[in-house]
Homo-oligomer: A and B are copies of this chain.
């Protein structure tokens, strides 16, 4: 063997590749072709060398076990001389092989040679040396195993990057929760649990955290981003507290701030922020949840008394699921405003529910919603009003007012626009809720990943059992979800910024963004927690390990603050409106046709449908382009369908309904594109090169795992060929394996302190 190679030293660097080519999967013609093509470019190879490589890579003539054995011997020698690294690449090993011959190194240590060998390696599929224990000596294996245990990167720096400009307030809340008063515990009885949650809410208020988004005059800091940051950290604590806090300060207080005027701020906001005045946000009714416009509670102006009469016309028009209903002294009640027999649509009214002793006022009936799937620390109830009278000033009159004669006046002429403007007060909730949901997902991932780095089960004979996270199926299960969490973190930051800086002009865009991210992100939370629970097996089922509450408490996130399926359709409607505006003042239909044709043609220039090169697959530009094309194609198709249906006489409502499934799919595609864009931007803005390179891998995994998820679409529409989607799958596998090495630090970077992590399996 050594004799043969003595005269053919340049064959040596090929041995690791040949070995893996044969060992990992029988050599495929396409792989052999690539080897030969690359080989041709290497003008330093002799004819003899070429011939031998051809011979050893001939698919028709696999090498004998003996020949393979002698390759292994030579490879092992080179491997012994390498620095120990947990993920040594084959191409590096090839370079080491070259050093074994006197004249070899010079030829091989060039950019050109490296690139060629790297290409071959990626064609053969990513393989870490670790997978080939038999190549390595015992000692080498041990060193690699040790390296695996070592910490990976500076998680404190990553944590700082993630907390960003909100680090101070977030750390303050993290520390606040370390106080004994905030110790997490499992409470099953709802009355006791609600008392605890109420106590916590008041403690938060006492810290000034409840009022933080209110004007300075009312004890606040006029800063919604601080409020959202507090809410985000509350996702690591008891989520019943987060929701009660959100109801009191965000929804009840927010309705006063968003729909009321200075007189209301002066009278109520300070007490709301200090939790001295507890209140409800009474919008949803039993009969109408998603369809707020058709609420049935009435607020009729009685000119004689200068009062509004709040009334529930029938049992099914009672308010339902109302948080704070059992503790609240007052409620913002959404009702159809009627003055002088004329309806003016839904408006909000401040309606006292209880006196200071806590007794219900006349005409108000409240029932406990009872036990819920989760959030049992929140006192949700049903509320009915029987001719309850409130003074005229209790109308939250920012967008519509009634004078003493019962004349209605609004700065917004269009009933529809007025309605949607008022509903805009809900957007804050849609910005914040998924942030707490993402925190829950991060907590679940932290617990599951930490567990999987301690728990071993099954293994090779006579060796230690395998760590759960070393199983490819476990990596496949958790790593893409870890990538999602990082990607969504960037997207939520972006949304929060956009929301904080919103103007009348971009409000609609911000609403679309919020609706899309709320739905996409809360569904991701549900999915993540389910996978994490299962990944922890029986331990994940014990309440002490947190999944019971994490799952149960966040399950409703898909429903409240706007049902996810309804919101996704809103998103699509928003996108269709944008599309229409693009073509405004033109012959829409004609232009549409032309554009469709151009678009169809542009598929061919997009001639990387079969490109499986590593550089391409890991190119963020390619990812963005791919996501955008899909979204664009979907919105065009949807617009076309609806346009045709309505043009031909179908009612608008029916036309939308017939395309409902496509609308929901488009909502997802839009959300995914936004998330990818914002994650990529976040990475680009990061000036720590080490963190950047780690985040880039997460971004690659986010992008490729989503392309893989939708490969049916890409293949069906001809955007990709089978070779390419197979290469995407291989790359996802590889990225999962690579990110596994950093997994421990990646969850440490979420910076969830032990007093919030709590789960014994994660401590």
Contact = CB atoms under 8 A, between A and B. Distances in A.
Contact of A559 (B538, B548, B715, B717): B538
B657 A548 contact: no
A458 B290 contact: yes
Interface in A653-672: 653-654, 657-658, 660-661, 664
Contacts of A47: none
A72 interface: yes
A296 interface: no
Given A460-B653, A530-B526, A657-B472, A648 B291 contact: no
Contacts of A712: 708, 711-712, 715, 725
Contacts of A541: 321, 372-374, 555-556, 559
A631 interface: no
Contacts of A534: 558-559, 564-565
Interface residues of A, number: 93
B132 A650 contact: yes
A333 B232 CA distance: 47
A629 to B, nearest CB: 16
Central interface residue in A294, A538, A544, by most chain B CB within 10 Å? A538
A434 to B, nearest CB: 16
Interface stretch (A159-167, A176-184, A398-406, A637-645): A637-645
Contacts of A72: 649
Contacts of A547: 373
Interface string A37-50: 00000000000000
A748 interface: no
Contact of A373 (B294, B370, B371, B548): B548
Given A543-B372, A548-B373, A660 B472 contact: yes
Central interface residue in A134, A649, A726, by most chain B CB within 10 Å? A649
Nearest to A559: B537
Contact of A320 (B22, B538, B725): B538
Interface string A126-141: 0000011110000000
A389 interface: no
A465 interface: yes
A206 interface: no
Contacts of A660: 471-473
Contacts of A458: 290-291
A466 interface: yes
A457 B371 contact: no
A543 B712 CA distance: 38
A284 interface: yes
Contacts of A186: 370-371
A544 B382 CA distance: 14
Central interface residue in A555, A563, A645, by most chain B CB within 10 Å? A555
A362 interface: no
A461 interface: yes
Contacts of A544: 370-371
10 contacts: A22-B644, A23-B649, A133-B654, A289-B537, A369-B542, A370-B544, A460-B653, A473-B660, A538-B560, A711-B716
Given A133-B651, A371-B544, A460-B651, 4 more contacts: A22-B644, A25-B641, A132-B650, A472-B660
Q: Which 6 A/B pairs are nearest by Cβ-Cβ distance?
A: A23-B648, A715-B715, A371-B543, A373-B548, A712-B712, A711-B712
